[in-house]
Amino acid sequence: MNTVSSCIDEYPDEVRTHTALHILKGAVVRVLGEGAMWTASTYVNGKHGRLTVKFDRKPSIEEIKAIEELANRKIEEDLRIETRVLPREEAERVYGNVIYDLFPVPEHIRELHIVIVYDIDGSIWNINACNKQHTRSARCIGRIRIGKTRFRHAKQLLEIPFDIEP
């Protein structure tokens, strides 16, 4: 058995799909720009997921293709994924508000799990306060296939459905 397939087999589909959200989000921000940095919602069920970001326009087919290609390139580069448990005040001081999404972490939560995906040059590809389980590296995801996106103009939301393979 090769290393990648054994790594993929090591994690439940939901863990792989949830980790894919972080890789995908990094690609979305790099292709569409900082205007797409705020996550409005996420959904994971088996090998299917959906990332919904605040955004002001419908992206082109070429942009969606570029997002998928970039996300899969980062998976192939096997980005390292680290979870740090920090007091909330320290996490906010060190990383700022980029660790949060549009749905707030309740104020009574005093300790945060900070998921950091490192790009190959050591910079941060994606960072988020997230209490879910993640794979230890990007290669354990497999591949991402983006489905038909939906732009909700009235709410300024871009929904990006995807599946992971295998």
> Where exactly are the structural domains of the chain?
3-165
Which pLDDT value is given to residue 1?
A: 45
What SS3 class is residue 41? strand
Mean pLDDT of the region 2-23: 88
Give residue 11's Cα distance to chain centre.
Answer: 17
Report whether pLDDT(57) > 90. Answer: yes
d(CA 23, CA 20) in angstroms, rounded, equals: 5
In this structure, what DSSP letter does residue 99 have?
G
Sign of the torsion angle spanned by Cα atoms 33, 114, 78, 162? negative
- Tell me 59's DSSP state: P
By the 8 A CB rule, do 113 and 133 touch? no
| Interval 141-160: pLDDT, tens | 999 999 999 999 999 999 99
pLDDT digits (tens, 9 = 90+) for 69-111: 999 999 999 999 999 999 999 999 999 999 999 988 999 999 9
Q: Is the dihedral of CA 148, 151, 152, 157 positive or negative?
A: positive
The CATH number of 3-165 is which of 3.40.640.10, 3.60.15.10, 3.30.980.10, 3.30.365.10? 3.30.980.10
Phi and psi at residue 160, in whole multiples of 5°? -120, 100
The model carries a pTM of 0.95
* pLDDT band per the 50, 70, 90 thresholds, residue 6: confident
